[in-house]
Amino acid sequence: MPNINDLFAILALVIGCIVTIFVAVLEIFVLIFIWEGTWNANSRQKRGINLEKLISESTGEASLSRFQLLIFVFVISMSLVLIITSTSPPAFPASIPDQILGLLGISSTSYVLGKALQGQIKTPPPEPPSTVAPPPPPEPPHYDGYDETPPS
Query: What's the confidence (pLDDT) of residue 3?
Result: 80
The helix, strand and coil proportions of the chain, stated in percent and rounded to the nearest 5, come to: 55, 0, 45
98-102 LR contacts (CB < 8 Å, sep 24+) = 100/76
**Cα gap 79→108, rounded to integer Å:** 17
Question: Could you give the CA distance from residue 66 to residue 114 in angstroms, rounded to a whole number?
Answer: 9
Least confident segment among 4-8, 29-33, 138-142 = 138-142
Same domain, 93 and 107: yes
Q: Which residue has the higher pLDDT, 10 or 134?
A: 10
- Clarify whether residues 41 and 71 are in a common domain: no
Helix or strand (DSSP H, E) at 83:
helix 64-86
On whether both 48 and 104 belong to a single domain, the answer is no
Q: Is the dihedral of CA 68, 74, 78, 84 positive or negative?
A: positive
39 and 72 share one domain: no
Whether 105 has a pLDDT exceeding 80, the answer reads yes
Residue 7 is assigned to a structural domain of this protein: yes
Total structural domains within the chain? 2
24 and 61 part of one domain = no
pLDDT at 1: 63
- Given this model, what pLDDT does residue 21 score? 94
pLDDT score at 32: 83
Instruction: Looking at the structure, tell me whether residues 43 and 59 fall in a common domain.
Output: no
Q: Which domain, by its residues, includes 109?
A: 54-120
Q: Report the C-alpha gap between 90 and 83 in whole angstroms.
A: 9
